[in-house]
Structure 1
Amino acid sequence: MSSLVGSLSPTMKPTLDHLLTAIDADPHVFSVCRIQAGWRMTFPVFQVATVHFVLRGAGHFQIGMRPATSFAAPSVLIVPAGESHWVGETGDQAKVRDAADQCALLGDGLVEFTAGSGDGDTLMLCGALTAPHHGALNFLDLLQAPVATDAVTNCIPGSVFDAMTNEIANAGLGTQAMCQALMKQGLIALLRGRWAGSDHGELLAHALHHPRLSRAIAVVIENPAAGHTVESLASLAGMSRASFSDHFSRAFGQSPIDFVQKARLRIAARLLRGTDLPIKVIAQSVGYAGPRPFSRAFLAAYGHSPSGYRDMAKSDEFKLLPQPDSPRGV
């Protein structure tokens, strides 16, 4: 978080703190899952988002018809509402068990689901994220689910996983409440880790005051190459085109399309400074059809061509100056 906080103005730091506490990340921990090697546990379609904290083991994770993703403990798996999913072994040889087929009461309201003998090569603590309250920021909107993420690289303390494992091993009075508190801590740390090192923290902090716009902002930041239009962003915000444009312009002092272009160029500038990717690849990764239109837009925004900006960024003089993350007018 230090790199993100350090880049914010003093007046914005409290706002970002409020944003982290205002998101809707109140999980309801409902089960412990144990999956033996060679087995696959399938889950029904839930009407709320599902979260699995992987405390031990490794395997694969698939949502709906999407490609399966590998994972290894410690990690976090997040499934959007309305999606079926499974966790465990891939391939036709895997033995399959529905989560509810073999279950037992573990203690203090927790249910234990088992696939296999019960020894459980993979151990998970599972919870559900309730629908956001009116006006609250949706955790999954900001994080962009579905997610299968390594916990260490996303700044979730190992002590969170250790404490979860200890609670499960000694289940009793207060275990469910403790696990829910630990899961919320982990989710907040996960979101904070996704923002750390990002140059969009201040913009996302502004979204605290405009929660209906937060999803559109997050989608642009997470996927700048998509063909964003005012209509598509308005739909994400649950607003009409005219209302969305008006609210967005008044909130951020620019039109939605201006914001999309500036966000793309801002990400491109970071890639030019921090990677050796070809300019053509960078152009495509931020939504430009080719290097020529990208170069024209970049030159107009930063006063340098992409190659000139990259060369300048390598100089010792540039490293001593505040880095121009933002296009002109942002």
Structure 2
Amino acid sequence: MDSLSALVASMGLRGRVDLLCRFAGAWSVPHPEAPAGQVPYHVVLAGKGVLEVGRERRPFVAGDLVLFPRGSAHTMRHADGATLTFAEVRRPLGRIVEVASEAPHSEFDVLCGTFELGQHHALLLQALPEVVHLHTQGRDDYAGLHALMHTMRHESLQASPGGDAVIAHLSAALFTVVVRTLMDEGELRQGLLALLMDARVAPALAAVIAAPAEPWTLERLADVSRMSRASFARHFAELSSMTPMEVVTALRMDLAARLLRETPRSIELIGEACGYVSRAAFGQAFKRVHGASPAAFRRQAGGAASTTKV
């Protein structure tokens, strides 16, 4: 498994589609800031409009995909920048809710959803820009992404058995394709994803993702990348504000948070899976990164109550 696939698999990413918006005439829809670890997205299937994020205004058209890795508050408006309120009708439609204006024929059609990565994936989210805006219309190299967008819309409008599972897998695929597209286009020059793209340091990072419990040191990481310690550290610093060992700790803590939230494993076993030989050492490292002890984090996250050892 390549390192990006392993990283996405380790995240336990979940996705959902919430709304299908169909508007005509003058409309304006504000979106509040999303909770930490949630990435709102919009898939524009027809029409055009204006997106406002803070003081920035940018047009969008059919075929565009917009993500907000920091969960930034934003507003979508009619292409003329309308600010008027408008009457809307909400009704269930398949697995989602349709939000429509009272105008008889919609000019704007957008699918709205959320990728859920959890607060513990800050390392990955920090590697992404505040707004990801991809234009797929008329681009043959985006054919796969465009097809995914329309397949998600189709599944969302159905009530067929297995649809939730299909949407979950399509969401993970869509997120992965977007990240890969940003990597391929050279949009990520700093952070975790830039490290994964760099042929010099990527082998070490892939090794940590594959085996986080190994006793990693700077020397071992440099050996995996077949570089001297000094050269490895220098190249790493060109791509990340974090040191190699800080990245190792962050990846381990991402894994620890996911295991605490999603599994009933004991804190001791989770610590061992993340490379810590004692519960005390694991607890100190975890609290330093997440601001809470492993036990408190599990309670706050609504994690598995059982501590069955598996």
Classify the TM-score, shorter chain.
0.5 to 0.7
**Could you say what secondary structure the match of 2:103 adopts?**
coil
CA drift of 1:102 comes to 3.8
Residue equivalent to 2:107: 121
CA drift of 1:144 comes to 2.5
Residue equivalent to 1:226: none
Unaligned runs of at least 5 residues, structure 2: 187-193, 210-215, 223-228, 241-310
Structure 1 pair 86–205 and aligned structure 2 pair: CA distance change class (3 A): farther
Q: Structure 2 residue aligned with 1:162, among 127, 143, 150?
A: 150
Counterpart check, 1:15 vs 2:27? no
Contact 2:14–2:117 (8 Å) recurs in 1: no
**Take 2:217 and 2:4, find their aligned partners in 1: how far apart are those partners?**
21
Q: Structure 1 residue aligned with 2:128, among 129, 143, 146?
A: 143
Residue equivalent to 1:58: 48
**Take 1:104 and 1:49, find their aligned partners in 2: how far apart are those partners?**
24
Structure 1 pair 35–183 and aligned structure 2 pair: CA distance change class (3 A): farther
Unaligned runs of at least 5 residues, structure 1: 1-12, 212-245, 265-330
Residue equivalent to 2:78: 89
Counterpart check, 1:132 vs 2:118? yes
Alignment of 1:281-296 (within 5 A): none
Identity %: 18
Task: Report the count of equivalent residues.
Answer: 213
Counterpart check, 1:107 vs 2:94? yes
CA drift of 1:249 comes to 8.4
Contact 1:34–1:124 (8 Å) recurs in 2: yes
Alignment of 1:236-255 (within 5 A): 251=221, 253-254=229-230
Residue equivalent to 1:36: 24
Residue equivalent to 2:234: 258
**Take 1:137 and 1:44, find their aligned partners in 2: how far apart are those partners?**
20
**Take 2:33 and 2:41, find their aligned partners in 1: how far apart are those partners?**
13
Contact 1:32–1:124 (8 Å) recurs in 2: yes
CA drift of 1:160 comes to 1.4
The letter for the 1-side match of 2:78 is: E
Structure 1 pair 96–207 and aligned structure 2 pair: CA distance change class (3 A): farther
Contact 2:148–2:170 (8 Å) recurs in 1: yes
Q: Structure 2 residue aligned with 1:79, among 57, 68, 71?
A: 68
**Take 1:248 and 1:177, find their aligned partners in 2: how far apart are those partners?**
41
**Could you say what secondary structure the match of 1:83 adopts?**
coil
Report Cα offsets for 1:194-228 as digits up to 9, x if no partner: 222658344456445567xxxxxxxxxxxxxxxxx
Contact 1:36–1:115 (8 Å) recurs in 2: yes
CA drift of 1:189 comes to 1.0
With the length of structure 2 as denominator, give the TM-score of the two structures: 0.54
Counterpart check, 1:49 vs 2:34? no
**Take 1:118 and 1:179, find their aligned partners in 2: how far apart are those partners?**
29
**Take 2:61 and 2:127, find their aligned partners in 1: how far apart are those partners?**
24
The letter for the 2-side match of 1:46 is: A
**Could you say what secondary structure the match of 1:143 adopts?**
coil
**Take 1:24 and 1:34, find their aligned partners in 2: how far apart are those partners?**
31
Residue equivalent to 1:182: 170
Contact 1:34–1:115 (8 Å) recurs in 2: yes
Alignment of 1:186-265 (within 5 A): 186-196=174-184, 198=186, 200-202=197-199, 203=201, 206-208=204-206, 251=221, 253-254=229-230, 258-259=234-235, 262=238
Structure 1 pair 23–155 and aligned structure 2 pair: CA distance change class (3 A): farther
**Take 2:162 and 2:76, find their aligned partners in 1: how far apart are those partners?**
28
The letter for the 1-side match of 2:134 is: T
**Could you say what secondary structure the match of 2:56 adopts?**
coil
